[in-house]
Amino acid sequence: MTFIQIVGLAIGGVLVVVGLVSGIRSAAAPVEAGSGRDRFLVALHDAARAGFWLGLGTAFFGLSVLEPARDYRWLVMLPIGMAALRLVAGMLLARGAED
């Protein structure tokens, strides 16, 4: 195992822990939104936040361990997709607050 793989595994481990803590904290926090739509969007926003960190950790783990790593470059799309989902949910929540 090379130094780069060890660093990738360490960074991936830290990011997975951050994702787990983020998911647990958002599950424990009560949602104070009024309508069902707003509650859904807040839940989606929080899940995407935890999913971003978990996806980023998975990408680091996968690209450090899997051979050849070039075949698994699509793992980088996981955190990008979660960030886009969080952005859309936040925009819809902000639009609902204006109405």
Please give the pLDDT value at position 70.
82
Instruction: Calculate what percentage of the chain has a pLDDT beyond 70.
Output: 96
Summary mean pLDDT of the chain: 90
Rounded Cα distance, 62 and 83, in Å: 19
Going 73 to 77 to 79 to 80, the CA torsion angle's sign is positive
- What's the pTM? 0.85
| Burial environment of residue 55 by CB neighbours within 10 A (0 to 12, 13 to 18, 19 or more) | buried
Each residue's pLDDT tens digit, 62-95: 888 888 878 888 888 999 999 999 999 999 999 8
